[in-house]
Copies of this chain bind each other. A is one copy, B any other.
């Protein structure tokens, strides 16, 4: 699934730092290298992962290839999280309603399950 790649891409701090940096404008590999003390090939690897997840893309500009954030690609992840939250809260609302109902009709001995 695509969400697999998205969330997996987000699970690494270096990659999150790259995305956060790209949110405020494109950047080259050399510029992105400043975000972490890792080697240039390691940065290129992370960029490949992000690209495969559809989160960024490369632009050709002379000898460099600045990366651009594709922010829309984060939407499915945001929506998934939001859906779970909404479902959870709706469930809570139901529980609250149930508790309120029990308040109105306090527990009796037995046989009150009609």
Q: Measuring CB to CB, which residues of chain A are less than 8 angstroms from any residue of chain B? A: 1, 3-8, 10-13, 16, 19-20, 23-25, 69, 71, 74, 77-78, 80-85, 87-91
- One of B25, B78, B90 near A85 (C-beta < 8 A): B78
Q: What B residues does A7 contact at CB under 8 A?
A: 7-8, 10-11
Q: Which residue of B lies closest to A4 (CB)?
A: B11
Central interface residue in A8, A88, A91, by most chain B CB within 10 Å: A88
- One of B6, B8, B84 near A19 (C-beta < 8 A): B84
Q: Are B16 and A80 in contact (CB under 8 A)?
A: yes
Q: Are A13 and B1 in contact (CB under 8 A)?
A: yes
A106 CB, min distance to chain B CBs, angstroms: 24
Report the separation of the CA atoms of residues A6 and B14 in the bound assembly, to the nearest whole angstrom: 15
Q: What B residues does A80 contact at CB under 8 A?
A: 10, 16
Q: Are B81 and A74 in contact (CB under 8 A)?
A: yes
- One of B74, B88, B91 near A84 (C-beta < 8 A): B74
Q: What B residues does A3 contact at CB under 8 A?
A: 10-11, 13, 16
A–B complex contacts, Cβ < 8 Å, 25 sampled: A3-B11, A3-B13, A4-B11, A4-B12, A7-B7, A7-B10, A7-B11, A8-B8, A8-B11, A10-B77, A16-B80, A19-B84, A23-B85, A23-B88, A23-B91, A24-B88, A24-B90, A25-B91, A69-B84, A69-B88, A71-B84, A71-B88, A74-B81, A74-B84, A78-B85
